């Protein structure tokens, strides 16, 4: 004998829901009124009682002017010349046939490096601009400025780790991008205060240029230290060759000449004097690049604020839904009994 399929008896009867809701309409109205009252109370006592508009701020990062770049021209010109004369070598030595040919070839190919050109770069607006962008990309300056301006209040976080995570998160939201697909980069951030953004940019620009200036000074000092060492090494190598060839006057004379040339060379001293006359040393307001703050583009974004009228409408809708659910649940429980 085939068993009959039992029809589901737990399906929602929409007609009954409507009828029950109408019968209990005053209860639903009461729930709506309570929901509206709570929403209005919370709205009035919330911190954001006024419309809060946010902006996507886009600020161009611009290089130094051609006039400032020209202040590095003397240093750059001498640096190019200096790099071409990085090595000193003995002029071709012509000695008798009885001399050791291998030794002659070795001496003829001997080159004495007098400085390491890996430490110095041609200083122009592009080099300085790239240093500025690289410094920003590290984001350490962003975090330093956020803390300095108290954009993230430490008292709002239970421990230092939570605070540092909040600072890092805010710093990560600041973007550096090539918006116009040209040679200029932009720094972008969503803010509700144009003044705060300007204060932030001014301080980051100051920090970045100060650190780049210190880096360039230290880099040149490192070059000077290594150049002095290389000069001494070159002289030591020449003295070694003189001792090994003391019987050959021709070779010794050539080696003595180049030793004197290395020892009396003023190239490093001249380069130092030229470097000290660049804005890196003589300027108290050194600039590698800057933010074009005055021409910042502010794109208005949607308001983060909900008006009182919208709050009331939404609370009425919410109260209606809650009321119907309440009546439905109550009716279901009653029928099950």
Please, what's the b/e burial string for 217-229 (b: 16 or more CB within 10 A of its CB; e: otherwise)? Answer: eeebeebbeebee
Mean pLDDT over residues 299-322, rounded?
78
Q: How many angstroms separate the CA atoms of 323 and 23, rounded?
A: 12
Dihedral angle, C-alpha 236, 238, 242, 245, nearest 10 °: 120
Residues linked to residue 314 through DSSP beta bridges, in sequence order = none
State whether residue 319 is helix, strand or coil: helix
Record the pTM: 0.69
pLDDT tens digits, 118-133: 668 889 999 999 999 9
Q: What tens digit of pLDDT does each residue of 41-60 get?
A: 887 776 555 556 788 999 99
Give the least confident one: 41-50, 181-190, 247-256, 285-294: 41-50
H helices of 138-276, where? 140-148, 160-172, 194-244, 249-264, 267-275
């Amino acid at each position: 004998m085939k068993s009959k399929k039992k029809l589901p008896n737990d399906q929602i009867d929409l007609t009954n829901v409507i009828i029950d809701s109408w019968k209990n309409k005053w209860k639903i109205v009461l729930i709506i009124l309570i929901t509206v009252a709570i929403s209005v109370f919370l709205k009035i006592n919330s911190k954001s009682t006024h419309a809060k508009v946010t902006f996507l701020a886009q600020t161009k990062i611009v290089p130094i002017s051609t006039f400032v770049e020209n202040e590095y021209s003397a240093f750059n010109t001498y640096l190019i010349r200096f790099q071409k004369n990085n090595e000193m070598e003995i002029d071709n030595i012509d000695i008798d046939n009885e001399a050791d040919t291998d030794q002659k070839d070795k001496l003829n190919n001997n080159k004495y490096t007098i400085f390491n050109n890996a430490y110095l770069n041609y200083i122009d607006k592009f080099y300085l601009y790239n240093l500025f962008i690289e410094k920003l990309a590290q984001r350490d300056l962003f975090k330093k400025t956020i803390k300095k301006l108290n954009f993230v209040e430490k008292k709002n976080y239970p421990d230092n780790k939570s605070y540092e995570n909040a600072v890092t998160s805010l710093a990560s939201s600041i973007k550096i991008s090539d918006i116009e697909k040209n040679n200029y980069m932009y720094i972008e951030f969503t803010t509700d205060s144009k003044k705060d953004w300007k204060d932030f940019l001014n301080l980051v620009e100051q920090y970045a240029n100060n650190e780049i200036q210190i880096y360039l000074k230290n880099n040149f000092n490192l070059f000077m230290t290594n150049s002095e060492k290389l000069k001494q090494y070159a002289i030591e190598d020449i003295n070694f060759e003189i001792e090994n060839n003391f019987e050959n006057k021709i070779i010794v004379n050539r080696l003595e000449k180049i030793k004197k040339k290395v020892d009396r060379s003023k190239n490093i001293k001249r380069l130092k004097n030229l470097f000290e006359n660049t804005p890196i040393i003589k300027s108290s307001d050194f600039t590698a690049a800057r933010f074009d703050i005055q021409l910042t583009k502010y794109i208005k974004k949607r308001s983060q604020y909900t008006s009182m009228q919208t709050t009331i409408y939404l609370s009425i809708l919410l109260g209606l839904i809650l009321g119907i659910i309440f009546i439905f649940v109550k009716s279901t429980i009653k029928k099950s009994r």
